[in-house]
Amino acid sequence: MDSSVIAKKYIDAVQNNQIQADVLVKLPELITCSNWLKVEIVGSVDYVSERTKVRFNGLIVKFNGGLYFVKSSVVEALKKIDKRFAKQAKPITVI
C-alpha cells in the first residue's frame, strides 16, 4: 500500500495530544518531501514499543493531508534550514 494512503488513513489519529501505540508504529516516515514549508508540526514523541523494542523518537507531522513520523535525525538536519523544527514541540503521549 502507498505510504500516502496510510498517512491519510491516520490523519486524525492524534486526539487530545495522545496517539495509540499501534497507530504510531504504522505511521509512514517522512524522510523527504516536496516542500518542508508545508509540513505542519503536530508534536513530539519519545516511545519504545513494548513488543518490538523499537524506539520512536522524533516528531509527528501533517503533510498533504496525511500524518507522518519524522525521525529525530531528520529533525536535526531540518533545524539548520527551518527554525520551526528547532522549537520545542508539544509532547504527544503514546497510549
pLDDT score, position 2: 84
Query: Is residue 1 scored above 80 in pLDDT?
Result: no
Domain-wise residue ranges, the chain: 3-94
pLDDT score, position 40: 97
Instruction: Answer for the pair 44, 90: CB distance below 8 angstroms, yes or no.
Output: yes
The pTM of the full predicted model, rounded to 2 decimals, is: 0.95
Instruction: Answer for the pair 82, 37: CB distance below 8 angstroms, yes or no.
Output: yes
Q: How many helices (H) and strands (E) does the chain have?
A: 3, 5
pLDDT score, position 91: 98
pLDDT bucket at 11, cuts 50 / 70 / 90: very high
pLDDT, tens digit (0-9, with 9 covering 90-100), for 50-76: 989 999 999 999 999 999 999 999 999
* Integer Cα distance of 19 and 27 in angstroms: 11
